Amino acid sequence: MISARGISGIGRSSGLFAIIALMVVGCTTPDLEPIPGSITYGGQPRTKLTKSPVGSLVPHRFTSGNSFVQETYVIEPDRSLKLIRRDYYDLPID
């Protein structure tokens, strides 16, 4: 028979495991590579975003093949853009 003490110990272990798993997943996210149509495809833009604060998000939308692409960039301290998210949406074909 399992006592209440044994059950609470199992709960703490699984909670700790879940926290560690989330930390590992967050650390192993690969950087996104620019694709044709991305702002940073072929390198950083020549002009710098000097009026936007560091950490600001910059959205960018374009089409690629039969998909609508939504990208999000963040302005880095050196004023460069870092691609942090890309979502694809299928375009309706009539």
Amino acid at 42: G
Q: Rounded to an integer, what distance in angstroms lies between the CA atom of residue 73 and that of residue 67?
A: 19
Rounded alpha-carbon distances, angstroms, from residue 43 to 24, 30, 36, 52, 81: 30, 18, 11, 20, 10
Q: Give, for all 94 residues of the chain, the pLDDT tens digit.
A: 555 554 455 556 666 656 665 555 455 457 899 999 999 999 999 888 888 999 999 999 999 988 999 999 999 999 999 999 999 998 777 6
The pTM is what? 0.66
Can you say whether the dihedral through the CA atoms of 46, 51, 53, 56 is positive or negative?
A: negative
Q: Parse the chain into domains and list their residue ranges.
A: 1-30, 34-94
Q: Rounded to an integer, what distance in angstroms lies between the CA atom of residue 70 and that of residue 61?
A: 5
